[in-house]
Amino acid sequence: MARGEGVNPEILIWARESAGLSIADAADKIGLSSSEAISASDKLAEFEAGVKIPTRNQLVKISAVYRRPLITFYMAAPPPRGVRGEDFRTHTVYVSNRENALLDALLRDIRGRQEMVRSLLEDEDEAVRLPFVGAANISDGVHSVARRINDALGLSETGKGRFGGHDYLFKDMRSRCERLGVFVLLVGDLGSHHSVLTDSVFRGFALADEIAPFVVINDQDAKAARAFTLIHELTHIWIGQSGVSGGTDTDATPKGRIEQFCNDVASEVLLPPAALTERPSGLVADEKEGAHRAISRIADTWSVSEPMVAYRFHRMGWISGATYRQLSADYAARWRAIKSKEKAKARESESGPSYYAVRQHRLGSALIGVVQRTLRDNLLTHTKAAKVLGVKPSSVEPLLRRFEANRGALFIESRR
């Protein structure tokens, strides 16, 4: 059997550790078996010590488990950490090494796809530098940046409310962002349920590129929260700060102040000052039930999430920190219960939206539109199209045909 001659043991160790795996876990996932003479863990340890060399098939399996290209294991030294922006998360919830490793793999994948999109736009002479990327600073103030984003998105600042519910709000905000030139994706795993990343690991991240800016929203999070995450990440793009974000909890560090600024801008864009001109009647700073009723009314009127309204109330001083924390815990518990019921219902149901319907929704019209146009113009192969879309090559044409049938191609000319 062919062996992996030239494999660097140092890379084997680095790749396993960066994947967040212990030797025992890695050996199990790779499929190494124990014998009377040696355990599976010791077999892997021998590979990492350079005592023995993995076979070609074992190396292919190692590559898949560690989520690294095969060529990586022949490098002279571990590659430097990729430029992926700042980690703006405040770790109030424990995130394991394994979860962070999966997040790193997701960030690498999205960065690679974003670079391919940028290259496609440059090859088509469509590489227009977007003036809003990095056009603002937190010193400009929340209201100023929120107003600029409102103007760019074509939003009204009236206090009349909003119709359609949170699903429609996200769809509308996503469409407006895509018309600006921002690619908006919903991604919460690396292609299987074994790699799901919960909202406690990340809520979203932004790549503040001047030609092909990306916003990724964790689709494992509540649907009602997606519009807020989208505008939060759009604010990151506006201030030119690429990075990964968590919840609304922040701290006094420079990164924490940036996160709070993005939270404040997003809450003002989605819930303009005209919506909160006076304190709701019956609202008492330290009384949770009254706050819950007032928050629910405003959330329904504006099609936004209750946690976002609670955050705004807290920032305005209308409810105390203790009440805000209690409400946040209640909303989190409610979401966990809803999610548990949805999973149980999905297991019982044999029907549901098609793979291509789900994939189109997650990828968005902007990304599919670029791939559709460049592929039809013979500027992109099906293999590269699959990499950009994150699907198998055999799935490209069915996905594009569905996109075209649903008039998604109407988006194609919007960037010209």
Q: Can you give the pLDDT at residue 382? A: 94
In this prediction, residue 102 carries a pLDDT of 85
Last residue of a domain, one of 262, 277, 292: 277
15 pLDDT above the threshold of 50: yes
Whether 68 shows a pLDDT value over 90: the answer reads no
Q: Is the pLDDT of residue 200 over 60?
A: yes
Helix and strand numbers (H, E) in the chain are: 15, 5
Residue 333 belongs to a domain: no
Given this model, what pLDDT does residue 3 score?
55
Do the Cβ atoms of 37 and 25 come closer than 8 Å? no
Task: Please report the sign of the dihedral spanned by the C-alpha atoms of residue 120, residue 122, residue 128, residue 130.
Answer: positive
Q: Residues 148-192: pLDDT tens digits?
A: 999 999 998 777 888 889 999 999 999 999 999 999 999 998 887
Examine the domain organization and report whether 270 and 145 are in the same domain.
yes
pLDDT band, very low/low/confident/very high, at 91 (cuts 50, 70, 90)? low
Q: What angle do CA 191, 195, 199 make, to 5 degrees?
A: 105
Q: Tell which residue, 252, 253, 251, 209, has the closest CA to residue 233.
A: 209
Domain containing 403 equals 355-415
Q: What integer pLDDT is reported at residue 413 of this predicted model?
A: 41
Q: Is residue 199 one of the residues assigned to a domain? A: yes
Residue 156, pLDDT score: 81
Based on the domain organization, do 93 and 62 belong to the same domain? Answer: no
The reported pLDDT for the residue numbered 391 is 93
Mean per-residue pLDDT, 325-349: 85
Both 40 and 156 in one domain: the answer is no
Q: What is the model's pLDDT at position 407?
A: 63
- Together in a domain, 54 and 183: no
Answer yes or no: is pLDDT of 414 > 60.
Answer: no
For range 343-361, the mean pLDDT:
80
pLDDT band for position 415 (cuts 50, 70, 90): very low
Confidence of residue 340 (pLDDT cuts 50, 70, 90): confident
> What tens digit of pLDDT does each residue of 104-159 get?
888 988 999 999 999 999 887 767 899 999 999 999 999 999 999 999 999 987 77
Are both 258 and 227 inside the same structural domain?
yes
Q: Which residues contact 64 (CB under 8 A, 6 or more apart)?
A: none
Per-residue pLDDT at 11: 93
For residue 304, tell me if it sits in a domain: no
131 belongs to a structural domain: yes
- Tell me the C-alpha distance between 286 and 72, whole Å: 56
Mean pLDDT of 371-380: 92
Judgement on whether residues 222 and 366 belong to the same structural domain of the protein: no
Do the beta carbons of residue 278 and residue 298 sit within 8 Å?
no
Domain annotation covers residue 300: no
Residues 124 and 273 in one domain: yes
Give pLDDT tens digits for 263-318. Answer: 999 999 999 998 999 999 888 888 999 999 999 999 999 999 999 999 999 999 99
The pLDDT assigned to 81 comes to 61
**Domain stops at, among 29, 45, 74:** 74
Q: What average pLDDT is seen over the chain?
A: 88
Q: Is residue 49 part of a domain?
A: yes
Judge contact between 40 and 34, C-beta under 8 A: yes
Contact between residue 148 and residue 263 where contact means Cβ atoms under 8 Å apart:
no
Helix (H) / strand (E) containing 243: strand 243-245
Q: How confident is the model at residue 40 (pLDDT cuts 50, 70, 90)?
A: very high
Helix/strand/coil for 132: coil
Helix (H, G, I), strand (E, B) or coil at 310: helix
**Number of domains within the chain:** 3
Residues 149 and 253 placed together within one structural domain of the fold: yes
Clarify whether residues 17 and 139 are in a common domain.
no
189-200 average pLDDT score:
84
Same domain, 62 and 91: no
The pLDDT of residue 385 = 95
- Residue written as tokens 């030609």? 211
Least confident of 27-31, 100-104, 145-149, 245-249: 245-249
Q: What percent of the chain has pLDDT over 90?
A: 61
